Amino acid sequence: MINGRKIILAGTNNYMGMTFDPDAISAAKEALDKFGTGTTGSRILNGTYQGHKALERELEDFYGMDHAMVFSTGYQANLGMISTLAGRGDYVIIDADSHASIYDACAMGNADILRFRHNSVEDLEKRLKRLPENAAKLVVLEGVYSMLGDRAPLAELIAVSKAAGAQVLVDEAHSMGFCGETGRGVAQELGVEDQVDFIVGTFSKSVGTVGGFCLSNHPKFDVLRFACRPYMFTASLPPSVVASAISSIRSLKNAHNKRAHLWANVERLHSGLKDLGFKLGTKSVESPIVAVCFDSQEELFGMCQLLLAEGVYVNVARPPATPMGIYLLRCSLGAGHSVEQVDQILAAFKAAQEKFSASETLRDAAGD
Ligand code: PMP
């Protein structure tokens, strides 16, 4: 509801529709009654309850990996992992379109930072080749990039990274839940999980709550619990959040129907918007994010307001969240949207487009 009007939310990270999952809600309520509203402590002091450990075991099971660490947000997971793994004299190599948390992690750590052109295997390889052979290197990638909704060519990027002796961290924030056979992300879908050294993710999207995590098969992974400052120096997640995350992750594994419904929704939106003549972030569907690209901020904000008047909310994305000169209405759908709602979203875009063109014509006629 916005100002008393019912609006369709077409800009959500609730990709798997888990925020109102009955099992996740009852697990959270039970934990709230049993353990209270918060832990009032960090993971390394009094803030590790049985639930936090159970959640780490659940993640290890979900990803089939040896070690998991749960953070209080996904932002902190990136901040902590990247700034702690690479130290002075090491190199961190990131994609130019990396999420803010990855950039902030680089600013926080002591390693030398290099950027390669977005999704360019050739540029990554070139930059890696210039680095000293025996220096430690960490390449940071994302399964799906959050603004344009495009996927990384992970297999190729990982191959050149490994050839240069680098370790690889993949952030699957926008791919967990619906990419890959059991929803582990793009690395699972492409069959390259065994070459990924660290998987980072969040509970704030497909899992439907809040929190972050990292997984690895590195035998000494647990040492990070005593070195990683964004893990150590902040309060741990409330037990109710932990309980709902456990419940959601358990059900995501077998959520094949939801995955199929989500992808059908996205296909419908993407092809409908393309038919209406909008310029989209990706040629075909790559993720539940459908970015509609505009040439100016005026058009971006004009369309956003017109869409709201038509009963649809979408997120506005512009620099610094997007690369320079890119103005987006970032639509994203979830498994909770009905087919009828997707059609309503399309109808709203059509009406907004017509009204915007009419207002432009009027402005031109008035000589503005
Ligand atoms: N990584 C990526 C790629 C993201 O898009 C986000 C959030 N938008 C995060 C990490 C941070 O996640 P959280 O909301 O859990 O802090």
User: Are residue 35 and residue 77 in the same domain, yes or no?
Assistant: yes
User: Are residue 156 and residue 181 in the same domain, yes or no?
Assistant: yes
Interval 329-348 mean pLDDT? 97
pLDDT at position 312 over 90: yes
pLDDT at res. 322 = 82
If pLDDT is split at 50, 70 and 90, which confidence band does 119 have?
very high
Please choose, from the candidates 164, 175, 206, 165, the residue with its C-alpha nearest in 3D space to the C-alpha of residue 17. Answer: 206
Going from the Cα of 24 to the center of ligand 1, the distance in angstroms, rounded, reads 21
User: Are residue 106 and residue 217 in the same domain, yes or no?
Assistant: yes
User: Which of 199, 218, 252 finishes a domain?
Assistant: 252
Query: What token pair was written down for 227?
Result: 């070195």
pLDDT digits (tens, 9 = 90+) for 259-287: 999 999 999 999 999 999 999 999 999 99
Q: Give the separation between CA 244 and CA 260, rounded to whole angstroms.
A: 23
User: Are residue 231 and residue 266 in the same domain, yes or no?
Assistant: no
User: What is the torsional sign of CA 25, 28, 32, 33?
Assistant: positive
Task: List all residues 6 or more positions away from 5 whose beta carbon is below 8 Å from its beta carbon.
Answer: 311
Going from the Cα of 3 to the center of ligand 1, the distance in angstroms, rounded, reads 29
Going from the Cα of 210 to the center of ligand 1, the distance in angstroms, rounded, reads 10
pLDDT digits (tens, 9 = 90+) for 156-214: 999 999 999 999 999 999 999 999 999 999 999 999 999 999 999 999 999 999 999 99
Please choose, from the candidates 162, 169, 185, 174, the residue with its C-alpha nearest in 3D space to the C-alpha of residue 106. Answer: 169
User: Are residue 177 and residue 91 in the same domain, yes or no?
Assistant: yes
End-to-end Cα separation, the chain, in angstroms: 35
Q: Which atom of ligand 1 is nearest to the CA of 210?
A: 15
pLDDT at position 336 over 90: yes
Interval 113-121 mean pLDDT? 98
204 and 179 Cβ atoms separated by less than 8 Å = no
307 and 348 Cβ atoms separated by less than 8 Å = yes
Going from the Cα of 152 to the center of ligand 1, the distance in angstroms, rounded, reads 16
Calculate what percentage of the chain has a pLDDT beyond 90: 93
pLDDT digits (tens, 9 = 90+) for 137-148: 999 999 999 999
Within its chain, how far is the Cα of 285 from the centroid? 16
Q: Using CA positions, which residue lies closest to atom 13 of ligand 1?
A: 74
User: Which of 184, 219, 252 finishes a domain?
Assistant: 252
Span of 100-114, 161-175, 268-282, 307-321 with lowest mean pLDDT: 307-321
Q: Which residues form the domain of 303?
A: 8-16+255-365
Domain-embedded: residue 1: no
Domain-embedded: residue 280: yes
Q: Is 173 in the pocket of ligand 1 (CB under 6 A)?
A: yes
Q: Using CA positions, which residue lies closest to atom 12 of ligand 1?
A: 74
Q: Is 75 in the pocket of ligand 1 (CB under 6 A)?
A: yes
If pLDDT is split at 50, 70 and 90, which confidence band does 368 have?
low
Confirm whether pTM is higher than 0.80: yes
Please count the residues of the chain.
Answer: 368
Query: What CATH number did the domain enclosing 300 receive?
Result: 3.90.1150.10
Query: What CATH number did the domain enclosing 65 receive?
Result: 3.40.640.10
Query: What token pair was written down for 85?
Result: 């793994």
Q: Give the separation between CA 290 and CA 281, rounded to whole angstroms.
A: 7
Where are any strands of DSSP class E within 1-82?
Answer: 8-9, 67-71
Q: Is 58 in the pocket of ligand 1 (CB under 6 A)?
A: no
Please choose, from the candidates 110, 52, 45, the residue with its C-alpha nearest in 3D space to the C-alpha of residue 83. Answer: 110
User: Are residue 113 and residue 210 in the same domain, yes or no?
Assistant: yes
Query: What token pair was written down for 315?
Result: 């997120």
Query: Residue 266 belongs to what H/E stretch?
Result: helix 256-275
Interval 328-341 mean pLDDT? 97
Calculate what percentage of the chain has a pLDDT beyond 70: 99
Q: Which residue, chain included where needed, has tokens 């290197």?
A: 137
pLDDT at position 323 over 80: no
User: Are residue 222 and residue 103 in the same domain, yes or no?
Assistant: yes
Going from the Cα of 359 to the center of ligand 1, the distance in angstroms, rounded, reads 37
Neighbours of 294 (CB within 10 A): 21
Query: What token pair was written down for 159?
Result: 């191959």
pLDDT at res. 191 = 98
Q: How many domains, the chain?
A: 2
Complex confidence, ipTM: 0.99
Span of 48-57, 154-163, 358-367 with lowest mean pLDDT: 358-367
Q: Is 73 in the pocket of ligand 1 (CB under 6 A)?
A: yes
User: Are residue 317 and residue 361 in the same domain, yes or no?
Assistant: yes
User: Are residue 228 and residue 270 in the same domain, yes or no?
Assistant: no
By most ligand atoms within 8 Å of CB, the mutation choice from 99, 175, 210 for ligand 1 is 99
User: Which of 212, 234, 252 finishes a domain?
Assistant: 252
Amino acid at 92: V
Q: Is 322 in the pocket of ligand 1 (CB under 6 A)?
A: no
On average, the pLDDT of the chain sits at 96
User: Are residue 178 and residue 323 in the same domain, yes or no?
Assistant: no
Say whether 137 sits in a helix, a strand or coil. Answer: strand
User: Are residue 286 and residue 208 in the same domain, yes or no?
Assistant: no
pLDDT at res. 319 = 83
If pLDDT is split at 50, 70 and 90, which confidence band does 361 have?
confident
Domain-embedded: residue 3: no
2 and 192 Cβ atoms separated by less than 8 Å = no
Domain-embedded: residue 2: no
User: Are residue 232 and residue 259 in the same domain, yes or no?
Assistant: no
Q: Using CA positions, which residue lies closest to atom 1 of ligand 1?
A: 173
